[in-house]
Amino acid sequence: MTTGALQSRKILLIVGGGIAAYKALELVRLIRKAGGEVQAVLTKAGAEFVTPLSLAALTGHPVRQTLFMPDDETAMGHIELSRWADLIVVAPATAGLIAKAANGLADDLASTTLIATDKKTLLAPAMNVRMWLHPAVQANVARLKGFEGFHGMALVGPDEGEMACGEFGPGRMAEPAAILQSIIDLLIAPAPSGAERPLTGRKAVVTAGPTFEAIDPVRGLTNRSSGKQGYAIASALAALGAQVTLVSGPTGLAVPVGVTRVDVESALDMKAATEAALSSGHASGHGPADIAVLSAAVADWRVDTIAGGKIKKGPGGPPTLALIENPDILAGVAAPGPMRPALVIGFAAETTDLEANARAKLSRKGCDWIVGNDVSDDVFGSDGNAVLLVTREGTESWPRQPKSAIAGALAARIADHFKPHSGIDGKA
């Protein structure tokens, strides 16, 4: 099952000149997989890095390269093109394109389109770290951000890391899946109509990320969970109108649009924050949340006694850590009682017998659905995922797709579950 998170949405992608332009091709693929339509504008410098042919093949549309092409202008002029789009995405956004956008300099198709549009624009900067940190570029970025109240200029990235030029620092273009997520956030989250926001009035609590169990003030036990899947679910639920609290272990991720985040460190903190979020501020003024999606990778054990000071190396050899079991947050939330949400969803990260283990977990934990994923594959930290949705009625296999797409599909299923016709707790 694939999802249509961007179904019928139109994206105008401006591809600037930079080594990151090759990632624009993957971005086109992801947008189309999510149901969106893409037309591309390729700058002169962009064409040095990717060919118009590859962009045309992937978008399924002719690629626009110059401002004055009689054929193109009669088919769809640059003004019309910018009106056609629901969102303009600039990826990679070079220092030059940022400068033009920030100063209203319109001397080619890309920059003219940026000034002509009445739609939001998302820029994914990509440049050498020294260029990104240059005060002129930072001033232009600040200027762009100041336009937010206008049609809206939003930025995604840049990421920090090793650059094509061998240097290290901020300047790498955000990964295509992260850009896709920002597109979904920008286009879907503000959807105004009740029909598009079927979870309006519903309260959801999502846990995500790893927990960190301190050993002493400087060391701890943790795991490789990135939190990306849980964050994407929180974002997708908010986009459908739910009031979402995200209880998050330590991650480097930004708070998704429309979501309230509570930061925690240990499993005990996460349990307390989850229970508090489940019981407080219910839309109807009392009672539990409607939806709990507990995707966090909670550490199974913590050290019995956290050392007050840093444990020193010494002649006695390494210390022995006595571990005790952490409480199972999911089992507690799913236990019958007045505070149980109508729909409790757990996760099962397995390396073998995924379906059998996920189904066993469903009954052991008492939750309604389990999202199972095979973590022997490249899942931790990655932007893609393939899952099984295990319910009491059966099992569905969702093929590998961006985590944002899995999240969109899950949120849609949750919304469907709460539709009046669909049975369990189908509140109107």
Q: What CA–CA distance (Å, rounded) separates 80 from 101? A: 19
Q: Toward ligand C5P, which CB reaches closer, 9 or 365?
A: 365
Supply the residues annotated as catalytic: 165
User: Is residue 294 near ligand C5P by the rule CB under 6 A?
Assistant: yes
Name residues whose C-beta falls within 8 Å of residue 196's C-beta, 6 or more positions apart in sequence.
240
List of E strands, 150-273: 153-155, 159-162, 168-172, 203-208, 213-214, 220-221, 243-248, 259-263
Within a 13 Å sphere around the CA of 241, how many CA atoms are in the beta-carbon half? 17
User: How far is Cα of residue 269 from the mean position of the Cα atoms in its chain?
Assistant: 24
Beta partners for 221? 213
Segment near ligand C5P (CB under 6 A), from 28-36, 38-46, 154-162, 327-335?
327-335
User: Is residue 96 near ligand C5P by the rule CB under 6 A?
Assistant: no
Segment near ligand C5P (CB under 6 A), from 24-32, 192-200, 248-256, 341-349?
341-349
Near ligand C5P in 197-236, by CB under 6 A: 207
293 and 215 Cβ atoms separated by less than 8 Å: no
Min CB(360)–ligand C5P separation in Å: 10
Q: Applying CB under 6 A, which of residues 97, 247, 296, 406 lies at the interface with ligand C5P? A: 296
Q: Toward ligand C5P, which CB reaches closer, 144 or 389?
A: 389
3-state secondary structure of 294: strand
Near ligand C5P in 360-379, by CB under 6 A: 361
Peptide bond between residue 92 and the one before it cis (omega within 30 degrees of 0): yes
User: Is residue 277 near ligand C5P by the rule CB under 6 A?
Assistant: no
Q: Applying CB under 6 A, which of residues 72, 175, 185, 328 lies at the interface with ligand C5P? A: 328
Strands 301-303 and 323-325: antiparallel
> 116 is written with which tokens?
């002509």
Q: Toward ligand C5P, which CB reaches closer, 5 or 349?
A: 349
Q: Applying CB under 6 A, which of residues 43, 113, 225, 326 lies at the interface with ligand C5P? A: 326
Q: Toward ligand C5P, which CB reaches closer, 11 or 277?
A: 277
Total residues contacting ligand C5P by CB under 6 A comes to 14
Name the residues that contact ligand C5P, by CB under 6 A.
207, 267, 294-296, 298, 326, 328-330, 346-348, 361
